[in-house]
Chains A and B, each alone.
Chain A
Amino acid sequence: MKGLSAILRIARRELRRLSRNPIYLFTMVVAPLFCYYFFTSLMAEGLPAELPVGLVDNDRTTTSRSLSRNLDAFQMTDIVQTYPDVSAARKAVQRGEIYGFFYIPEGTTGKAQRQEQPTVSFYMNYSYLVAASLLYRDMRTMSELASGAATQSVLLAKGATERQAMAYLQPVVIDTHPINNPWLNYNIYLSNTIIPGLLMLFICMVTVYSIGTEVKSGSARHWLSLARGSMARALAGKLAPHTLIFTLMGAIYVCYLYSWLHFPCHCGVPVMLVVMFLGVIAAQGMGVFMYAALPSLRLGLSFASLWGVISFSICGMSYPVMAMHPTLQGVSLLFPLRHYFLLYVNSALDGYPLLNAWPYVAGLLAFALLPAVVLRRLKNALLHVPYLP
């Protein structure tokens, strides 16, 4: 009973501290809300449409013109400009006006009619990988169609039916089913991991900061004395208000994404709330560990920022972990965001029960329990390591 009242007293003290320093309001509420809105509104389009491309048509025949009209009609591409030659188009690519161009050399139609197999080319600027990959699909389909169109007209003239002609042109068709994100929506693909990652970054930093400022302002002894010298109680009282606020922020995020924007959530909102809560306490545990490992405000915060920023790359959301160096595949498990990402994929995206991915639930819980390992070291640091600017 005494322990509980001590925890409550420290929690009240922490709430006062949170309300006095505006940096807490910023990092706990304002900045996360900004991030929620920023990423979802930036990628509101889902899949970029009408990306600017160029055309170099040196053939200038009805066939080449119909080709370019077809290309323009694709959802992803928008032919904004026709260039007289390849180097003019390349310069436009360098200036960033277009992401790529389609090149129909002189005499293409004539060669096709003489059965000499002309070559058309498409050039894409892969320095902008996402845009170029999207365009590649359209350009490629277009070229396939161009090749087919030549044969198709002959076949139809010979009396083949449309079905026979298609069966001749394209005997095997690929029918693609992107499971659970059939629109290839980038908003769903990226926001689902980036936003929780940022929230976890804030949690780690706030945890480190709130412990470090006790040392900086010289109130660490008072804090510990309120807990009657028990580091566990002191931490529980201090971090409970944070857990409450961050869980609330996480809940706002989950509701905003899955209930308001209707991102796929096959496990139901409650399960994602649980996953989010696990993420919050894992990040808090990581934060305590970071301060205990490097007991100075500056180093602790640097550690938190390093870990937080690297986790976006190493969690495998954009570049798969299996393509990384084997060492990094192991290292990736040291980042709470990696576990959160796998749980999100398992539950919200694929709709499997949470226990199907139990190792990652255990992983997040392990992060949350990390402070237990470093309690003694942390207490020592709080009492004996002076603040270094």
Chain B
Amino acid sequence: MRQKFADYWKQASADWNYIFRNELRNIFKDQGILIFFFLVPLAYPLLYSFIYTNEVVREVPVAVVDDSRSTTSREYLRNVDATPDVRIAAHCKDMDEAKATIRRRDTYGIIHVPDDFSKRLARGEQTQVSIYTDMSGLLYYKALLVANTEASLVMNARIKTALAGNTTAEQDRVTAYPIAYESVSLYNPQDGFATFLIPAVLVLIIQQTLLLGVGIAAGTAREGNRFRELMPVDRHYTGLLRIVLGKGAAYLLVYLPISVYVLGVVPHLFRLNQIGSPGQLALFAVPYLLACIFFAMSVSLVLRHRETCIMVIVFTSLPLLFISGVSWPGAAVPDFWKAVSCLFPSTPGINGFLKINNMGGTVQDLSFEWHALWTQAVVYFFLTCWGYRHAIVASRRRYIARYRRLRARHIASAQSRTMNGTLPDEAAAAGPQ
């Protein structure tokens, strides 16, 4: 009994070892897989970070229509120009001229100061400054709004203190702001675009490249196989767990260093937020990688050709980024899409990574993501096993059927041969194909 178990174990580990090495060889032999397993994870993050590296938009050019032409209006416009967000690029005599600058794309907004601006202020009445912004990008709108709000607050405070007739500077301060306020940007001190988007893209890249690489490997295996089967006829490819775990371990081995680079080195290179502890990050990366690997293996079961997986998978990156709740607030994602998003490891992966890397959370803080990833890993593992089992059984059936057919033909031809007394013809001799 013990001998039998030892033999079984020996055979199983030999098979596992064989499959593991074979899969690694496949990965490094295939340029298509190498592109997605190495080139994309290495180069894409750098490219993205390069695009967003300035983080914020500064000095948005705007046109100004100053109908008031007074000292106060000029003071106001100087304040606007002094903000980092906008730059006054054109002084126009009327709105039509200002509109023409927008039309030529020289400016992205108009600030209009009405002709009674200083008159009303002098009379102690409220006055309005109108801003018109080009809506081709929300950041232009934001820049214009922030700059004008800042400038108006400065001016309001000055007017208020002038009217109050205080004697000390401290009194002036209190008159301007009886209650002061401050805004604190948590986890993204410069309110930047890169800090917000790049971490999500990094996590997504791991899942998408795994899907593509594993899909190409599976498609190639089918195309290389004479009968379009996923597995070769080989005595090593018999045990189900050996196949799934052998292949999975090969992918894991490749992706461990890649994850370190993508999740650890890239944020460091581009000085993105990185306040999570490396230990927590590593702890979190394990279920994410497992979930991604088994998810990719499950998906690869239905891909029949090498190239189809590129066409099917690449476009999903965008929808996946959107339902993960980063670019579009998770609270505003409709319930249906929220449910759909739970099928993909990227959703808990992105949120979990943000919470650890950007917000310095620990694994305890993200129990939902943690459990979701482990659940996905287990579910996709069993789905992969089921799929491979199905493929093995189906392929065996086909082989047996083919063997029977050939044998029947062989017997029939042998019979006809004995009846005719002729030599076997070439086709029958070619034997089982």
Q: In whole Å, how far is B140's beta carbon from the nearest beta carbon of chain A?
A: 7
B175 to chain A: closest residue by CB:
A151
Interface flag for B54 (CB, 8 Å): yes
Given contacts A121-B184, A202-B315, contact A95 B52 (CB under 8 A): no
Which parts of A130-144 form the interface with B (CB within 8 Å)?
130-134, 136, 139-140, 143-144
| Contact indicator B132/A316 (Cβ below 8 Å) | no
| Contact indicator B311/A120 (Cβ below 8 Å) | no
Label chain A's interface by main secondary structure: helix
Which of A44, A49, A96 has most B Cβ within 10 Å?
Answer: A96
| Contact indicator A126/B181 (Cβ below 8 Å) | no
| Contact indicator B160/A169 (Cβ below 8 Å) | yes
Interchain CA distance A357-B405 in the complex, whole Å: 69
Interface flag for B35 (CB, 8 Å): yes
Encode A44-62 as 1/0 by CB contact (under 8 A) with B.
1100111110000000000
| Contact indicator B48/A112 (Cβ below 8 Å) | no
B351 to chain A: closest residue by CB:
A96
Interchain CA distance A44-B334 in the complex, whole Å: 9
Interface flag for B240 (CB, 8 Å): no
Interface flag for B323 (CB, 8 Å): yes
Encode A78-113 as 1/0 by CB contact (under 8 A) with B.
000000000000110111100110000000100010
Q: In whole Å, how far is A253's beta carbon from the nearest beta carbon of chain B?
A: 15
8 Å CB contact of A320 from B139, B177, B183: B139
Interface flag for A302 (CB, 8 Å): yes
Label chain B's interface by main secondary structure: helix
- Looking at the complex, which of B187-195, B241-249, B256-264 is the stretch in contact with chain A? B187-195
| Contact indicator B47/A126 (Cβ below 8 Å) | no
- Looking at the complex, which of A33-41, A224-232, A361-369, A377-385 is the stretch in contact with chain B? A33-41
| Contact indicator A35/B319 (Cβ below 8 Å) | yes
Interface size class of A (residues with CB under 8 A): 35 or more
Given contacts A168-B160, A177-B130, A198-B318, contact A146 B220 (CB under 8 A): no
Interchain CA distance A121-B270 in the complex, whole Å: 30
B313 to chain A: closest residue by CB:
A305
| Contact indicator A118/B180 (Cβ below 8 Å) | yes
Query: Which residues of chain B are near A302, meaning CB under 8 Å?
Result: 32, 35-36, 310
B191 to chain A: closest residue by CB:
A126
Given contacts A94-B359, A125-B186, A314-B51, contact A320 B140 (CB under 8 A): yes
Interface flag for B366 (CB, 8 Å): yes
Interface flag for A372 (CB, 8 Å): no
Query: Which residues of chain A are near B273, meaning CB under 8 Å?
Result: 127
B170 to chain A: closest residue by CB:
A117
Interchain CA distance A121-B185 in the complex, whole Å: 11
Interface flag for B326 (CB, 8 Å): yes
Encode A18-33 as 1/0 by CB contact (under 8 A) with B.
0000010011000100
Query: Which residues of chain B are near A44, meaning CB under 8 Å?
Result: 334
Interchain CA distance A319-B160 in the complex, whole Å: 38
Q: In whole Å, how far is B106's beta carbon from the nearest beta carbon of chain A?
A: 11
A166 to chain B: closest residue by CB:
B126
| Contact indicator B179/A121 (Cβ below 8 Å) | no
Interface flag for B133 (CB, 8 Å): yes
Query: Which residues of chain A are near B317, meaning CB under 8 Å?
Result: 309
Encode A165-181 as 1/0 by CB contact (under 8 A) with B.
01111111111111111
| Contact indicator A150/B178 (Cβ below 8 Å) | yes
8 Å CB contact of A176 from B131, B182, B305, B319: B131
| Contact indicator A129/B193 (Cβ below 8 Å) | yes
| Contact indicator B51/A313 (Cβ below 8 Å) | yes
Encode A305-342 as 1/0 by CB contact (under 8 A) with B.
10011101110111110111100100000000000010
Given contacts A130-B328, A147-B179, A170-B126, contact A323 B56 (CB under 8 A): yes
Instruction: Taking A136-B183, A186-B138 as given, write out 17 further A-B residue pairs in contact, using a Cβ cutoff of 8 Å, ordered by the A residue number.
Output: A26-B311, A27-B311, A41-B334, A42-B333, A48-B328, A93-B359, A94-B361, A96-B366, A122-B182, A134-B329, A150-B179, A168-B163, A189-B138, A298-B31, A298-B310, A317-B137, A389-B306
Q: List 23 A-B contacts (CB under 8 A).
A: A95-B366, A116-B174, A118-B180, A119-B179, A121-B183, A121-B184, A127-B187, A128-B196, A132-B191, A150-B179, A171-B126, A173-B152, A176-B131, A176-B145, A205-B310, A298-B306, A308-B315, A317-B137, A320-B57, A323-B56, A323-B58, A323-B139, A324-B54
Name B's A-contacting residues (CB within 8 A).
30-32, 35-36, 47-48, 50-54, 56-58, 60, 76, 102-103, 121, 124-142, 145, 148-149, 152-153, 155-156, 159-160, 163, 171, 173-174, 177-189, 191-193, 195-197, 199, 216, 220, 223-224, 273, 305-308, 310-312, 314-315, 317-319, 322-323, 325-334, 337, 351, 354-355, 358-361, 365-366
> Across chains A and B, which 9 residue pairs bring their CB atoms closest together, nearest first?
A126-B188, A48-B332, A143-B181, A129-B196, A131-B329, A323-B57, A181-B135, A345-B136, A150-B178
